[in-house]
Amino acid sequence: MSTPPAPAPLLIACALGIEHLALRSGDRGGADGPVTVLRTGMGPKAAQRAVTRALAEPALADAAVLATGFCAGLAPGMHPGDLVVAEETRDAAGTVPCVGTDLLVKELVRAVPGRTVHTGPLTGSDHVVRGHERSDLLATGAIAVDMESAATLHSAVRTGPRPVAAVRVVVDAPEHELVRIGTVRGGISAFRVLRSVLPAFYEWHRSLLLPRR
């Protein structure tokens, strides 16, 4: 009998130490195949470097990539602890379509009951967005903004065809703006939500049929 191919790995990328802590302390059971949780560092350049370096490793060559962490909501009525599932990511480098959005929404509703899940374009920025910038980005059709997701997914697809997705937890919104990025540490609600999302990520990964080399 021939040996079945090993399950393809999953690379989960986040930027901040507090995000990494939430993911590392969440439910790590139930994954199909190896899972790597990568802290990239803050900002698009750091994310690009870290993800490109990680995917150059032979063990991660075929990895599905999922960008996650906190974000700023752009739409009125968003609240800290809401979830954003990207239909696509956008930045100056272009647009990357995301895979399995409907499944992620379904599994997140199951994993984090009672939380609102928003879907739509997720845009990238190289700085924390405040004030009128939110309105300008909302006018483009984006529903949320963060600094790393678009760079992460661009870097992932540049290295070869692979499923990619982005799921973010709203930590500030038009009516709940951050004063400084350090106040993320006070976002207990968002932290707890991020701790709870891993089962949904594993179900997304399980649903994928990745080509093997």
Report whether pLDDT(200) > 60: yes
**What pLDDT is attached to residue 177?**
58
Dihedral sign for Cα 40, 41, 47, 52, please: negative
- Nearest partner of 50 among 182, 160, 164, 148, judged by Cα: 148
Report whether pLDDT(46) > 80: yes
**What pLDDT is attached to residue 79?**
87
**What pLDDT is attached to residue 212?**
43
**What pLDDT is attached to residue 155?**
97
Report whether pLDDT(194) > 90: yes
d(CA 142, CA 135): 10
d(CA 190, CA 172): 9
> Averaged over 18-39, what is the pLDDT?
84
Whole-prediction pTM: 0.89
Looking at the domain that runs over 10-206, which CATH code has it been given?
3.40.50.1580
pLDDT band (50, 70, 90) for residue 185 = very low
The mean pLDDT of the chain is: 87
**What pLDDT is attached to residue 28?**
66
- State pLDDT tens for residues 49-84: 999 999 999 999 999 999 999 999 998 889 889 999
Spans of all domains in the chain: 10-206
Report whether pLDDT(24) > 50: yes
> Averaged over 97-107, what is the pLDDT?
96
- Nearest partner of 191 among 38, 51, 26, judged by Cα: 26
> Averaged over 117-141, what is the pLDDT?
87
